[in-house]
Amino acid sequence: MPLPHWTADGVLPPGAHPADLADIYERLVCDAPYQNEREILFGALSSYLGVVCRIIPSGRAWIDGGLALWSEEPPGTVDVVLIPDEWGSLKKLDGAARAALYGMVTLRGAIIGQPAMYLDQVQPVHGLLDGYLCVPGHEEVWAQTWSSVRGPYGPVEGLVKGYAEVRW
Protein backbone atom coordinates (compact mmCIF):
# COMPACT_ATOMS: atom_id res chain seq x y z
CA MET A 1 0.00 0.00 0.00
CA PRO A 2 1.66 3.28 -1.04
CA LEU A 3 2.27 5.99 1.50
CA PRO A 4 -0.08 8.98 1.24
CA HIS A 5 1.09 12.15 -0.47
CA TRP A 6 2.80 14.94 1.46
CA THR A 7 0.54 17.56 3.02
CA ALA A 8 1.00 21.26 2.28
CA ASP A 9 3.11 21.39 5.49
CA GLY A 10 5.60 18.84 4.11
CA VAL A 11 4.55 15.98 6.36
CA LEU A 12 2.62 12.75 5.94
CA PRO A 13 -1.02 12.93 7.08
CA PRO A 14 -1.42 12.01 10.78
CA GLY A 15 -1.25 8.39 11.88
CA ALA A 16 0.74 5.22 11.24
CA HIS A 17 0.75 4.35 7.52
CA PRO A 18 1.45 0.71 6.59
CA ALA A 19 4.28 0.49 4.08
CA ASP A 20 7.01 -1.74 2.77
CA LEU A 21 10.49 -0.60 1.78
CA ALA A 22 9.43 0.02 -1.83
CA ASP A 23 6.66 2.35 -0.61
CA ILE A 24 9.10 4.18 1.64
CA TYR A 25 11.58 4.55 -1.21
CA GLU A 26 8.92 5.89 -3.54
CA ARG A 27 7.54 8.56 -1.19
CA LEU A 28 10.40 9.44 1.16
CA VAL A 29 13.26 9.27 -1.36
CA CYS A 30 11.94 9.78 -4.90
CA ASP A 31 9.15 12.21 -4.04
CA ALA A 32 11.22 14.62 -1.92
CA PRO A 33 14.19 16.97 -2.33
CA TYR A 34 17.79 15.98 -1.62
CA GLN A 35 17.47 12.56 -3.19
CA ASN A 36 21.20 11.77 -2.83
CA GLU A 37 21.09 12.31 0.93
CA ARG A 38 17.81 10.40 1.11
CA GLU A 39 19.33 7.46 -0.83
CA ILE A 40 22.04 7.18 1.82
CA LEU A 41 19.52 7.26 4.68
CA PHE A 42 17.29 4.74 2.89
CA GLY A 43 20.28 2.40 2.50
CA ALA A 44 20.95 2.70 6.23
CA LEU A 45 17.28 2.01 7.00
CA SER A 46 17.12 -0.97 4.67
CA SER A 47 20.27 -2.55 6.15
CA TYR A 48 19.10 -1.81 9.69
CA LEU A 49 15.71 -3.45 9.18
CA GLY A 50 17.37 -6.44 7.51
CA VAL A 51 19.42 -7.08 10.66
CA VAL A 52 16.51 -6.34 13.02
CA CYS A 53 14.31 -8.90 11.26
CA ARG A 54 16.93 -11.58 11.94
CA ILE A 55 17.03 -10.75 15.66
CA ILE A 56 13.38 -9.96 16.49
CA PRO A 57 11.04 -12.71 15.21
CA SER A 58 8.14 -10.38 14.37
CA GLY A 59 7.09 -6.83 15.02
CA ARG A 60 6.67 -3.33 13.67
CA ALA A 61 9.03 -0.47 12.95
CA TRP A 62 7.80 3.12 12.91
CA ILE A 63 9.87 5.26 10.55
CA ASP A 64 10.32 8.98 11.26
CA GLY A 65 13.05 11.61 11.42
CA GLY A 66 14.39 13.84 8.67
CA LEU A 67 13.75 11.17 6.07
CA ALA A 68 10.01 11.35 6.81
CA LEU A 69 9.76 15.12 6.20
CA TRP A 70 9.60 17.04 2.92
CA SER A 71 11.93 19.89 3.75
CA GLU A 72 14.04 22.58 2.13
CA GLU A 73 16.88 21.33 4.35
CA PRO A 74 18.67 18.02 3.70
CA PRO A 75 17.59 15.22 6.05
CA GLY A 76 20.17 14.28 8.68
CA THR A 77 18.89 11.00 10.11
CA VAL A 78 16.15 8.45 9.97
CA ASP A 79 14.52 7.56 13.28
CA VAL A 80 13.12 4.10 13.96
CA VAL A 81 11.26 2.75 16.95
CA LEU A 82 11.00 -1.04 17.10
CA ILE A 83 7.86 -2.59 18.56
CA PRO A 84 8.30 -6.37 18.99
CA ASP A 85 5.12 -8.45 18.72
CA GLU A 86 6.23 -10.58 21.65
CA TRP A 87 8.49 -8.97 24.23
CA GLY A 88 9.16 -12.35 25.81
CA SER A 89 11.03 -13.49 22.70
CA LEU A 90 13.67 -10.81 23.37
CA LYS A 91 14.23 -12.12 26.88
CA LYS A 92 15.04 -15.52 25.35
CA LEU A 93 17.78 -14.22 23.02
CA ASP A 94 21.19 -15.84 23.45
CA GLY A 95 24.23 -13.71 24.26
CA ALA A 96 25.27 -13.02 20.65
CA ALA A 97 21.74 -12.09 19.55
CA ARG A 98 21.25 -9.91 22.62
CA ALA A 99 24.54 -8.10 21.94
CA ALA A 100 23.48 -7.60 18.32
CA LEU A 101 20.15 -6.14 19.46
CA TYR A 102 21.86 -3.74 21.86
CA GLY A 103 24.07 -2.63 18.97
CA MET A 104 20.91 -1.68 17.06
CA VAL A 105 19.66 0.91 19.56
CA THR A 106 20.80 4.47 20.17
CA LEU A 107 22.53 5.03 23.49
CA ARG A 108 22.61 8.41 25.17
CA GLY A 109 25.06 9.39 27.87
CA ALA A 110 27.21 6.28 27.39
CA ILE A 111 30.42 5.63 29.32
CA ILE A 112 32.80 3.41 27.41
CA GLY A 113 35.72 1.58 29.04
CA GLN A 114 39.22 0.71 27.80
CA PRO A 115 40.03 3.60 27.37
CA ALA A 116 37.34 5.24 29.47
CA MET A 117 35.40 7.98 27.69
CA TYR A 118 32.00 9.63 27.86
CA LEU A 119 29.92 9.85 24.68
CA ASP A 120 26.81 12.03 24.42
CA GLN A 121 25.25 9.64 21.93
CA VAL A 122 26.10 6.36 20.21
CA GLN A 123 24.02 5.63 17.11
CA PRO A 124 23.79 2.58 14.86
CA VAL A 125 24.65 2.65 11.15
CA HIS A 126 27.45 5.25 11.39
CA GLY A 127 25.19 7.83 13.03
CA LEU A 128 22.73 7.90 10.13
CA LEU A 129 19.98 6.30 12.16
CA ASP A 130 18.51 6.59 15.63
CA GLY A 131 17.04 3.28 16.75
CA TYR A 132 14.82 2.84 19.78
CA LEU A 133 13.09 -0.12 21.40
CA CYS A 134 9.52 0.33 22.62
CA VAL A 135 8.78 -1.53 25.82
CA PRO A 136 5.27 -2.94 26.24
CA GLY A 137 2.69 -0.34 27.19
CA HIS A 138 4.66 2.62 25.81
CA GLU A 139 3.25 2.54 22.26
CA GLU A 140 1.09 5.62 22.83
CA VAL A 141 4.07 7.61 24.10
CA TRP A 142 6.00 6.75 20.94
CA ALA A 143 2.97 7.50 18.75
CA GLN A 144 2.72 10.97 20.30
CA THR A 145 6.45 11.53 19.91
CA TRP A 146 6.46 10.39 16.28
CA SER A 147 3.38 12.57 15.54
CA SER A 148 4.91 15.80 16.84
CA VAL A 149 6.76 18.13 14.49
CA ARG A 150 9.94 19.70 15.82
CA GLY A 151 11.10 23.05 14.58
CA PRO A 152 14.38 24.79 15.34
CA TYR A 153 12.99 26.00 18.68
CA GLY A 154 11.05 22.91 19.77
CA PRO A 155 7.67 21.37 18.94
CA VAL A 156 5.53 23.18 16.36
CA GLU A 157 2.17 23.85 18.01
CA GLY A 158 -0.91 22.58 16.16
CA LEU A 159 0.99 20.57 13.53
CA VAL A 160 0.66 16.78 13.63
CA LYS A 161 2.36 14.39 11.24
CA GLY A 162 2.22 10.77 10.25
CA TYR A 163 4.91 8.12 9.91
CA ALA A 164 5.49 4.89 8.03
CA GLU A 165 4.93 1.51 9.70
CA VAL A 166 6.78 -1.55 8.44
CA ARG A 167 5.72 -5.00 9.65
CA TRP A 168 7.69 -8.23 9.48
What's the pLDDT tens digit per position in 128-164?
999 999 999 999 999 999 999 987 788 889 999 999 9
- Dihedral (C-alpha) 58, 16, 18, 31: value to the nearest 10 degrees? -130
Which residue ranges in the chain fall short of pLDDT 70? Answer: 109-112, 118-119, 121-122
Does residue 2 belong to any structural domain of this protein? no
| Strand ranges in the chain using DSSP code E only, listed in sequence order | 15-18, 59-65, 78-84, 107-112, 117-122, 129-133, 148-151, 154-160, 162-167
Phi/psi region, residue 112 (left: phi>0; alpha: psi -120 to 50; beta: rest), is beta
pLDDT value for 121: 65
Does residue 30 belong to any structural domain of this protein? yes
Does residue 38 belong to any structural domain of this protein? yes
Q: pTM of whole model > 0.85?
A: yes
Q: Cis omega before residue 115 (within 30°)?
A: yes
Q: How many domains does the chain have?
A: 1
Q: What is the DSSP letter of 127?
A: G
Does residue 102 belong to any structural domain of this protein? yes
pLDDT value for 144: 96
pLDDT value for 135: 93
Are 59 and 82 in contact by the 8 Å Cβ rule? The answer is: yes
pLDDT value for 107: 76
Does residue 10 belong to any structural domain of this protein? no
Are 128 and 44 in contact by the 8 Å Cβ rule? The answer is: yes
